[in-house]
Every structure is written in structure tokens, then in C-alpha cells.
Structure 1
Amino acid sequence: MSAALDRRTLEAAATWYVQLNDAGVDEACTRAWQQWLGADPSHAEAWARVEAFQRQWATVPAHAARSGLDAAQAQRREVLKILGVLLAVGGSSWMIGKPLANHGLFAQQSTGARERRSLRLDDGSQLELNANTALDASFDRQLRLIRLYRGEILVQTAKDPGQRPFIVETQDGRIHALGTRFSVRQMTDRTRVGVLQSAVELRPRRHPERAVRLEAGQQAAFDPDRADPAGVLAQGSTAWVQGMLSVDEWRLGEFIDELGRYRPGVLRCAGAVRDLSISGAFRIDDTDAVLENLTRTLPVKLRYLTRYWVSVEAV
């Protein structure tokens, strides 16, 4: 870290990032950020580091506008997450907030914003890793364990001569495979599981006795305390394996949030157009083309703050 790029400057850059990523940000806030950015070369350097952080790891999610004390506390937590990583990778020996391992920065296997990967495990099981995914695989004589820190995987388990259980562990609990093909996505505050073949069992971290079984064609989300009732598996939920995002009458806001997973930087949707409806199949390997096509089929336009900061707005 350069002498001019001190902790205070990095914290200011992280704070601006969180504020601008809020759904309720206005033009006045945007102009104030631009003034701060041009006020000193160290500000631009710190901002570039925040953007590099977002492009590589994308560990701090976008959040909805909040009010009062909860908003201030939530914003501060997100700022500290970013600042901790920036200081750690910049040469500092200490870390604010959760350990880096919990974010998956030092995971055995990881993918970037525009990267998907196939992985064959020692037992013959097959994993498909979606963009921005990080995990560890830990196999021993008693257990086959996948620790998913962030992102999404599609699992095809192999038969094991030693009959070792196959488990995927997330921050919310464990998914026990029962000879199956299934997907697991670590979301901000819960884990979503979809079953394509056979069955799995969800066990919330704090209450493993509240296990829920999912059969083929079912999906459910769970947090550390409980699992939701089983629902119908969404059609096209694993289209990302073929490089596609398939949607049927989605709200534009939901579509933009999902598309942002496959794009470095920040992609936002203005409140005025979030409820527009969209259907179709879109290639996630060329998000620039997808965004441009939106302007031809919907009453929207694109506004660029930087190359890595795009807002979809009303015409």
C-alpha cells in the first residue's frame, strides 16, 4: 500500500461504494462522489482498488434501501468487510470482520465474475462451478465434504465403495446427498437447493434435527434455524451450466440482479423500471450485448458511472 493510500482514504472509498450501491441513491449523492473522486489522486487510487476488489471477489452484496439505525449499522458492516479485505491484500497483517477464509478468498477452488468451471473430484463426483464461486473439498475415510463459501454449484455424486456420506456445507447448514444430482446456491442470508435427480436432506446449522427432505423436481431455501417448505424446482434453474440465463415473466429488477452475477463491477436497476416484465433466454457470457438489447425491447436506457458501474434507468 502506498504511503498516501492510508486507512482513512480506503475507508472513504469503501463507504462511497456502499452508499452508491444503495437502491435509494440520488443524483446529489452521485455528484458528491464524483467531486470526492476528483479531489485527490489518492481518492482515485483507492476507488480503483475497491473496483478491483469487486471485480475479483464480489463478496459484499447489494442491499435494499433501509432507514434509521438499522441502515447505519448495516452500512457500517459492509464498509468494514470491504476495508478488511483491502487492508489484508494491501500488506496489512490484520483483518477487520470475518476471517478471509470465511469469504472464500483462499479457497481451493474459485471462479471469477465471467468464469465457470467443471471439476471432477477424487471419488468421481462431478461439480459445475458458476461465476463468483469459492469452495473447498475435504475427503477423508469417513466423509466427502464440500464447503461452499460463496456462489453456486451443480453436483453429480458418484457411488462410493466405502459408502462415505456426501455433504455440502454452507454458512446455513448442511445438505446431505442421497445418491443424487442437485444444485446449491449460497445467497446473502440463506442457502437455496434444487434437486434434479434422487433426493437430498437439508439440515439447518443451529437445528439439524429440523431436517427437510427434497425429492427430484423440488427446491427449497434454508437458513441456520429452519428450512422453507419444498416447492417446485424453477424451470431453467441450471441453464447457467450451458451459459444461459432463462427467465419467464421476471421483474426487470430481479433479472438485473441475477445478470449482475455474471458481470464485474456494479449493475443496478432504477426503481422506476424494476417492475417491467421480461422473458427469454440470454447469454451470460456477453452481458454488454444483453444490456444493449434491453434498450431495444424495453423503455430503458443505460447510464455508466464508470466502465464497471452501470445503471438501467427509465428513458
Structure 2
Amino acid sequence: MSAPLDLQTLEAAATWYVQLNDGAADEARTLAWQAWLQASPQHAAAWARVEALQQQWARMPQRAALSGLGAAQRQRRDVLKILGMLMAVGAGSWLAVEQVPYRSMLAGQRTHSGERRSLQLDDGTRLEMNVDTSLDIQFDGQQRLIQLYQGEILVQTAKDPAQRPFSVTTSDGNVRALGTQFSVRQWGDHTEVGVEQAAVEVRPRRNDTQRLTLEAGQQVSFDRDAIGRPHPLPQGSTTWVQGMLSVDDWRLGDFISQLSRYRPGVLRCAPAVQNLSISGAFRIDDTDTVLQNLGKSLPVKVTYLTRYWVSVEAL
């Protein structure tokens, strides 16, 4: 049985596979892939799973096995399909992972890298989906339920004549709206909830007796067993809806990690500059300009090995 690999490494391997087979691979991209491959034994192990899949072409998504995958939405969809197969190659240990179940890849509503979406639900509720988000909408006579598998949403609930409760469920538990506007983000090992209007009730999946009413202006993280301590909701936490990333005294490493969600390929921050402080409002639909402007306010330089492999480094 293959050794367990973290999800980020498997997704990187799937991304490299798609990019190397999109019909536009050149020497620079190949060199970047080789650099990634040699950077860690985990990378080599993940790529070994890709090679195992190459022996089973019949199982590959047809579009992923052909060229012409340049479109960002198609690319992200194919990456997720291949990611599921890489998890399967790892046998039972990854098939049992609940963080990214196969249901996520088959979700009724999904956004991809660089894509955001607005939805008007049947009851009048407004739902904003951030990048790399997948969910199912389950409305019936007794409930209004959003099953969030991954990513981030902002919900503006509508009044329901039938008075059905409105909830968002993640792998960590349940968030029930109490007539409100709120955001939910599913991280790898926890869920984060922020309330902008009214309140929500938070319940961990494995500890139903522990409940927290979260008020407007508060944010909290919880996992399957426990709820953390509420703290003030950061200003600008949902400006992604307007295509902005607003930060106030963030670590540069955290900023680059967030910015990487809005562009394809690999975006890295060197350890030497990760603790630099950054503040401001940045357009997430134009990450190249954001990166170009970093050097104007911080002692950093941005190095492009290819457009898919970018590093922020010390001067």
C-alpha cells in the first residue's frame, strides 16, 4: 500500500499532469515540473501515483487525456477528477478521508480556480460562492440545507413563509441561521464562521451537546469535537464578493497563501519573507498586478520560473 500523502501534494501532482498535457507545455514548464518533482520525496511519491494512472488510461477522464485544456474552468474540473483517482490509487487510507469526499467532485454547484458565482435560491436567499467551492442545495418541506464540501460561501437568508430552518452543514458540524447574513468556510481540518447580521447557532458534529450562538460582528472556528472562542470578525473578510482581498497587518506568508487561491499553478512565499507585514485592498481578479506591485511596498522580488510557478523572495 502506498504511504499516505497530504491532499495538497496530491492536488499539485494532478495539476502538473493537466498542465503538462494541455498542448501548451514548453521547456520552461517542464523544468518547473522537474523542480517540483525533485523538491520532496512526497512529490515523487505523488507523481508515482500519476504514473500508475497512466497504466490505466481507460479510467482517465477523456478530456484530461487530450490536449486543449487551457481554459481555467475545464482545467480545474479535470484536476479534481484526477485527484479523485490519485486518492483511489492510494487504496483504503485515502478512500476513507472525509475532508474531500467524492461527493465534492460530483456536487450540484461548483466553482473552480479564479471563478466566483452568485446564486438566487428558490426561497429568495442570496448565496455567493468563492473560488474552489463545491456544495449541494437540499430544500424540502422540512428544511433548507446547504451541504458545503469545500470552499467558502456568503449567505443572505430570506424569510420563509413555511418557517423552515436554514442551515449550512460541513464535515465539522452544523451552522443554523437565525435570520442573518453570514459566511462559512470549510478548511482542511476545521470550519470558520463569521456573522455580519443577526446570529447563527453552531454545533460540532461529534458533540451535539455543545452549542454556541454567534452574534453579529463575531467569528469562530470549530471542528467535529469542539468550538473555539469567538473573536471579532475581521474588517473586509467578505470583500472577495466584490473581487477584493482586504488585509490589515497580515503576515506576507498568509497573504500569499490566500492570493494563491485565485490563480492557477504554484505561488510560493520564501521563508525569509513570510513574516513581513502587509495591509491594503488587492484585486483578486488581477493577481499578476498584485504581485508586480509587492516590491513597491516590501523588500521582496517576484520570480517567474513560468506563469504557473511563481516565487516571492527576499531582495
The Cα RMSD (Å) is 3.6
Change (3 A) 1:59 1:157: farther
| Paired residues of 1:133 and 1:149 also in contact (CA < 8 A) | yes
For residue 142 of structure 1, give the secondary structure of its aligned residue in structure 2.
coil
For residue 85 of structure 1, give the secondary structure of its aligned residue in structure 2.
helix
Compute the TM-score of the two structures, normalised by the length of structure 2. 0.73
Compute the TM-score of the two structures, normalised by the length of structure 1. 0.73
Counting only pairs closer than 5 Å after superposition, residues 185-196 of structure 1 correspond to structure 2 as 185-196=185-196
1:246 partner letter: S
For residue 236 of structure 2, give the secondary structure of its aligned residue in structure 1.
coil
Change (3 A) 1:264 1:15: closer
Change (3 A) 1:103 1:59: farther
Structure 1 residue 305: Cα displacement: 3.8
For 2:38, the equivalent position in structure 1 comes to 33
| Paired residues of 2:11 and 2:79 also in contact (CA < 8 A) | no
Counting only pairs closer than 5 Å after superposition, residues 288-307 of structure 1 correspond to structure 2 as 288-307=288-307
1:133 partner letter: T
**Which ranges in structure 2 are unaligned for 5 or more consecutive residues?**
3-8, 17-31, 45-49, 55-63
Separation of aligned partners in 1, 2:287 and 2:300? 16
Counting only pairs closer than 5 Å after superposition, residues 31-70 of structure 1 correspond to structure 2 as 33=38, 56=76
For 1:287, the equivalent position in structure 2 comes to 287
Counting only pairs closer than 5 Å after superposition, residues 253-292 of structure 1 correspond to structure 2 as 253-292=253-292
For residue 296 of structure 1, give the secondary structure of its aligned residue in structure 2.
helix
Structure 1 residue 86: Cα displacement: 4.9
Separation of aligned partners in 2, 1:188 and 1:16? 13
| Paired residues of 1:57 and 1:132 also in contact (CA < 8 A) | no
| Paired residues of 1:55 and 1:265 also in contact (CA < 8 A) | no
1:190 partner letter: H
1:10-48, Cα deviation, whole Å (9 max, x unpaired): xxxx67947xx9xxxxx9x938639x99xxxx98x97x9
Structure 1 residue 241: Cα displacement: 0.7
- Percent of aligned pairs sharing the same letter: 57
Deviating above 6 A after TM superposition, structure 1's stretches of 4 or more consecutive aligned residues are 51-54
1:149 partner letter: Y
1:223-273, Cα deviation, whole Å (9 max, x unpaired): 000111111111000111111011111110010011111111221111000
| Paired residues of 1:117 and 1:128 also in contact (CA < 8 A) | yes
1:185-225, Cα deviation, whole Å (9 max, x unpaired): 11111000000111000000000210011011111010000
Separation of aligned partners in 2, 1:111 and 1:247? 23
Structure 1 residue 85: Cα displacement: 3.1
2:76 partner letter: Q
Change (3 A) 1:30 1:229: same
For residue 122 of structure 1, give the secondary structure of its aligned residue in structure 2.
coil
1:30-77, Cα deviation, whole Å (9 max, x unpaired): 38639x99xxxx98x97x98x9899516999xxxxxxxxxxxxxxxxx
2:303 partner letter: R
